[in-house]
Amino acid sequence: MIPVYINSAACISVQDTLNENFFQNLKPENSTQVLKAIEPVYKEFIPPAMIRRMSKTVKMSSVASQYALKEAGIENPDAIIVGTGMGCSQDSEKFLKNVIDNNEEFLTPTFFIQSTHNTVAGQIALGLQCHAYNFTYVNTSSSLEFSFLDAKLQINDGEAENVLVGSTDEQTNRTMELYRLNKTIKKEENLPLDYINSTTEGVIWGEGASFFVLGKDKTENSYAQLKDIQISSRLDLDETQQFIEDFLTKNNLTKNDIDAVILGFSGDAKSDAYYTKAMDSFESSALLYYKHLSGEFNTASGFSTFMACHILKNQEIPDVMRINDLEKEEIKTILLYNHLGGSDHSLVLLEKV
């Protein structure tokens, strides 16, 4: 297997992550049920006539992908792979509302055409006039990880040299209402939220888009080497440590070789038990968390991957992410562990270049 490098990273999130100084200005969010992404001025990147027809997730992804390609110095990638949990849900809702309002008659196809999950990857390809491999993964919280896995295989099989990989999810009013009703989103009375020691169910919901360029060659801008990915759709709580241990053994590592572990604590007491269980395995690692900065959503792991890339490159951990006070002289390896509501568990191993 040839090495695969992350040569650029761009993110639009609840934090001002397009700003060069975002690392010093991270602000935790623990008292709002739903967090909105900080969006750029789209007309600086997208023609105004096109902006009107684009949903929020397409606009965020278009800009984030432009940032990622520019940083990597790539005009046209050899493949475009996007992971998303909810896809273009704004247009999906508009289409369904039209169905109801018009009694299923005389429907315009526009919202339906734009509501499909692969709209994002398709729009990016159209903008770039890129006719290469174009694929979308819809696997809830492991959508980005499946996209990374595909990109890694494309590079290892000699099918591609540079791959644009992204993750994106947006919010819609109706879906947020339903999430409040089924207790996915935390009740007002349970806020502000202590992410690490929560005793109540539900999460604070976020949104965002993260894009990366993966390449077979290391460059001056390279952030990390993408060593390996492991995904499991179901996992019993008592299997957590073995799941991690087997993954590390496969990569000829022990838990003592991991300098930092980024865990997806969301504030949902029941499903966060997996992260608490995982923490017990890493007594000599810096323990970090991130969803108090991004909110929980299907592809929140894109934000954690983006942060891990900057931690490896800057050799600095933001204090706001720390669970413990353990300091490392050098951060060589970072393990990312994520799931959504106790399902679709993923491990991603990144190494300093």
Q: pLDDT digit string (tens) for 161-201? A: 999 999 999 999 999 999 999 999 999 999 999 999 999 99
pTM exceeds 0.75: yes
CATH number, span 5-215: 3.40.47.10
Do the Cβ atoms of 163 and 213 come closer than 8 Å?
Answer: yes
pLDDT at 98 over 90: no
Q: Please tell me the distance from the alpha carbon of residue 92 to that of residue 131, in angstroms, as a whole number.
A: 26
Please report, for the chain, the start and end positions of each structural domain, with discontinuous segments joined by +: 5-215, 224-351
Instruction: Check for a shared fold between 5-215 and 224-351.
Output: yes
Which option is the CATH number for 224-351: 3.40.430.10, 3.40.50.2300, 3.40.47.10, 3.30.1340.30? 3.40.47.10
H and E: helices and strands count for the chain: 11, 10
pLDDT at 110 over 80: no
CA distance readout (Å), 150 to 230, 240, 285, 314? 12, 25, 29, 28
For 43-60, the pLDDT digits (tens) are: 999 998 888 888 999 999
Q: How far is CA 343 from the centre of its chain?
A: 16
Do the Cβ atoms of 280 and 292 come closer than 8 Å?
Answer: no
Residue given tokens 């241990």 in the structure block: 245
The region of weakest confidence among 97-111, 264-278, 283-297, 308-322 is 97-111
Q: Strands of 75-146 (E only): list them.
A: 79-83, 133-137
Q: Which two tokens stand for residue 152?
A: 């890694």
Higher pLDDT pick, 104 / 352: 352
User: What integer pLDDT is reported at residue 179 of this predicted model?
Assistant: 96
pLDDT at 263 over 90: yes
What does pLDDT average to over the chain? Answer: 95
Q: Please tell me the distance from the alpha carbon of residue 325 to that of residue 238, in angstroms, as a whole number.
A: 27
Q: What is the mean predicted confidence (pLDDT) over 86-102?
A: 86
User: What integer pLDDT is reported at residue 113 of this predicted model?
Assistant: 78
pLDDT at 111 over 80: no
